[in-house]
Amino acid sequence: MLRVRIVGRPQKLVPSFCRLVHRASASTSDPWNSLISSRINTNKDTTSAEKNTVTGSSTSCNSSTASTDAASSPAGSLSGTTYIAKDNIVTTHEFSTGASRILSNYRSPFDATVVLLLDAAGSTLLGKSNLDEFGMGSSTTNSHYGTTLNPLYSVEVETGKAHISGGSSGGSAAAVAGKLANFALGTDTGGSVRQPASYCGTVGFKPTYGRISRWGVISYAQTLDTVGIISDDIHTVEKVYHVLDKYDDKDPTSLPDDIRNSLKSKCSEDVNSTSLTVGVPREFVVGDLSQEVKEVWFSVLSQLQDMGHTVKIVSVPSIKQSLSSYYTLATAEAASNLSRYDGVRYGQTTEDLQEKAHDLIVANRTNGFGPEVQRRILLGNYTLSSESGDHYIKATQVREKLVNEFNQVFNLRHVFSNDTNVDKETSGRCDILVAPTAINSAPTLEEYHQQNETNFLNDYVNDILTVPASLAGLPTISIPRGKHGIQIMGQFGADQTVLDVSKKLMEVK
């Protein structure tokens, strides 16, 4: 039986993964199929009462530019498909909460560009999925609405066998793994699409930074946030990507059309997907990597060799510094982005009367943000303070160095590279990189909490394998291998190469 989580009613644990568009009729034998049929076959809106408790789909278009971009999508290319959106992607007919108490009553006045594009392509939005509050976490346990459990395992917490779904897009990955929709949208800041996809046995794709519009995404760290796609079918991921791969003038980080055309031309000329050089960064061979993950990694590399590709060891030294750089930059951006939430103009506000405006804002933010979000705001504000010295500058320098090192490894030259000294001889370079997505399979909820009680930094360390691609803005996909995931990374803009290789690997699964 499907359990529906009602908006605004926090629960300790949430075996369900998303808030649904309609309540399924109690009299139907298969309420979920009934729900899908009603959404695809009718255009009836929810009643006012229903809108107060469950999410609704969004069909309005509030931007002429987004409408034009949507119209250029292949007509009906996603007709008949259903999807779920992570609850930090705004929609007009339902709450957009970011899984935070401070936004638990917030309704957006506009739809995200990605929602408009999918609507124009014929896909049906079924609901909004749970996440770590504002995308801050790797487990979907840091949500105002409770923990999302992994459907690949038992969801009976009392047995001790319940597993986490990963995060921060754990609700999206769990919904796809639970066969609730054809695909789901997530956001990937440091691995938040790829890691839960790995834990839940699904495909998770983070495109090149700037490929998909961020307009309508509740920001965590805007120089890293990337809308990603999760599905159990690689071909569905590819179709959705092509629908969303559009320039959006409302998003200042969206890649302009001339850059997109240049990338398409360069990739088609320089990349021969039938005979690739596959790089294996030695820095990803970390001590915490489980033996099972190593064996899966070796198996995939052997499959690539059998397909006629060349495998070689490469080095990207700055990967070792990427985690500290990432958390310095991400928390600083988070502190800035979340400063807008004061509970005065919109969002949740305290019912206790305060004599001063300052006291009201303090009370709203203290009660409105969860402990992990408060921790990262504090870390970010410290980084931006004079007391921290030049931590932010050093982190930016590490990021720049990492990008340059990736450029030296990849065969394809970075479209934004200004380095005229780059050696044009590329015969010893790579077309893609292959690495594990996570150091192990999904831990049990009990194991996860025990590890974090011992050291809360454990949650941060788990991002070591996914953060480098995020810092460099590289297209990266996690494909399932049993209960593990393997990442395929390409040069900036080489999204199609990453997808093509992934499709071939999924065929020989």
Angle, vertex CA 255, rays to CA 253 and CA 258, nearest 5: 150
Report the C-alpha gap between 175 and 183 in whole angstroms.
8
The gap from C-alpha 59 to its chain's centroid, in whole angstroms, comes to 23
What distances in angstroms separate CA 419 from CA 193, 253, 424, 438, one per listed residue? 32, 22, 11, 33
Q: How many CB atoms lie within 10 A of CB 4?
A: 18
Q: Annotated catalytic sites, by residue?
A: 86, 168, 192
Q: What is the side-by-side strand order in the sheet with 18-20?
A: 18-20, 124-129, 82-86, 183-188, 226-231, 203-206, 476-481, 484-490, 432-436, 277-281, 310-314
Report the C-alpha gap between 1 and 5 in whole angstroms.
13
Question: 74: which 2 tokens?
Answer: 């292949």
Q: Is residue 486 within 8 Å of residue 222, measured between CB atoms?
A: no
Q: Which residues contact 280 (CB under 8 A, 6 or more apart)?
A: 301, 311, 312, 313, 314, 433, 434, 435
Q: How many CB atoms lie within 10 A of CB 320?
A: 13
Report the C-alpha gap between 504 and 233 in whole angstroms.
13
Q: Is residue 488 within 8 Å of residue 434, measured between CB atoms?
A: yes
Task: Give the chain's largest Cα–Cα span.
Answer: 72
Determine how β-strand 277-281 pairs with β-strand 310-314.
parallel
Query: Residue 86 forms beta bridges with which residues?
Result: 129
Report the C-alpha gap between 249 and 243 in whole angstroms.
16
Report the C-alpha gap between 259 and 252 in whole angstroms.
14
Angle, vertex CA 178, rays to CA 34 and CA 12, nearest 5: 100
